[in-house]
Chains A and B, each alone.
Chain A
Amino acid sequence: MEALLLEGTPKTPHVHFDPTTGRLELKGRSIPENSIDYYKPLITWVDRYAREPRPSTVLHIQLEYFNTSSSKCILDLFKKLEVVRTSGNEVVVNWHYEEDDEDMLEAGEDYQAIINIPFKMIQIEEVDGH
């Protein structure tokens, strides 16, 4: 299967999902008006990846802003990866947040509370990719 590569825009994140390494990246901003349409190809990709995943998958989330309509879609991505984990593979979410951005740290903890995947909270100086 092919990698999914989408350039970031002022309203949508940089996406790089690599099936050969199991590294999935979402960086920048996710504030589109219509998140469901935007996330459809991402969710389809992860759905296909879940059929033949790498033994270890790491999802890197490094967002400066995301809107509430993106938050449901991001949860759907996590749910697809939860299935990968249940079938015996290693899955980790690396949740990045800018220093002083307690709200983004809390947002990561909110997902952590409802998703059965280990989260690693990583403090960074500034989000890149936008």
Chain B
Amino acid sequence: MLDRIYDLYDELERRRVMLSFKGDLSEELVSALLGLVERKMSVLEPDARMRKRVFNVAMECLQNLYHHNTRLRLADVEGTATNIAHGVVMIMHHDKGYSVLTGNFVADKDVHLLKDHLDRINAMAPEELRGFYQETLANGRYTSSGGGGLGIIDIARKSGQKLEYGFVPFDTESAFFSLNVNVTN
């Protein structure tokens, strides 16, 4: 394992990863990570609009990780699943902009709903997306996380690109959900 540490570092460096985290997420940690994103962006990115968009996308992605944990995370040492938010987040800088990647466990029963939501959003042109956002905002409903289902729509609007996603079966009850959000000029 020891010799892999450099490989890991080297890989992160080559891929221009400006932030990476894997583990349990607390409210404090979400704040700390956002603070880090903001500081890094203020150094790296001269365009204020791009800085804000990346911050916004990172903020919504982290909130998704924080709120939508499956309660089925990798069983801990004692072998019991806990309801602590758990996941992975990575922000990469590349020639065309930035990528915000997140991964977390979702319950099998939610996969279809989430996939349909993502496909619907990906099929929309920017103006349709804006209409969908307004319609969802106006419906007056709150979801368990408080966002009322606006999070992914907002992420798609700020990204301006199609959202890349995937599901990997994890166990009999859950899947690993990966999301890649590109924010480009």
Contacts and interface: CB of A to CB of B under 8 A. Distances in A.
Interface of A: 10-11, 31, 33-36, 65, 67-69, 71-73, 75, 98, 100-103, 106, 110-111, 113-114
B27 A69 contact: no
A25 B170 CA distance: 48
Given A33-B66, A72-B148, A103 B49 contact: yes
A65 B142 contact: no
Nearest to B55: A65
- Please report whether the interface of chain B is mostly helix, strand, loop or mixed according to DSSP: helix
A125 B66 CA distance: 33
A110 B48 contact: no
B74 interface: no
A111 B150 CA distance: 14
Given A33-B27, A33-B30, A110-B134, 20 more contacts: A33-B63, A33-B66, A33-B67, A35-B146, A65-B55, A65-B56, A65-B59, A68-B150, A69-B145, A69-B147, A72-B142, A72-B150, A75-B138, A100-B48, A100-B49, A101-B48, A101-B52, A103-B52, A103-B158, A110-B133
Nearest to B149: A68
- Please report whether the interface of chain A is mostly helix, strand, loop or mixed according to DSSP: helix
13 contacts: A10-B31, A33-B30, A35-B146, A65-B55, A65-B56, A69-B146, A75-B140, A98-B48, A100-B49, A101-B49, A103-B157, A113-B134, A114-B137
Contacts of A34: 146
Contacts of A106: 130
B35 interface: yes
Contacts of B59: 31, 65, 67
Given A33-B66, A110-B137, A114-B138, A68 B49 contact: no
Interface string B128-154: 001001100110101001111011011
Interface of B: 27, 30-31, 34-35, 48-49, 52-53, 55-56, 59-60, 63, 66-67, 130, 133-134, 137-138, 140, 142, 145-148, 150-151, 153-154, 157-158
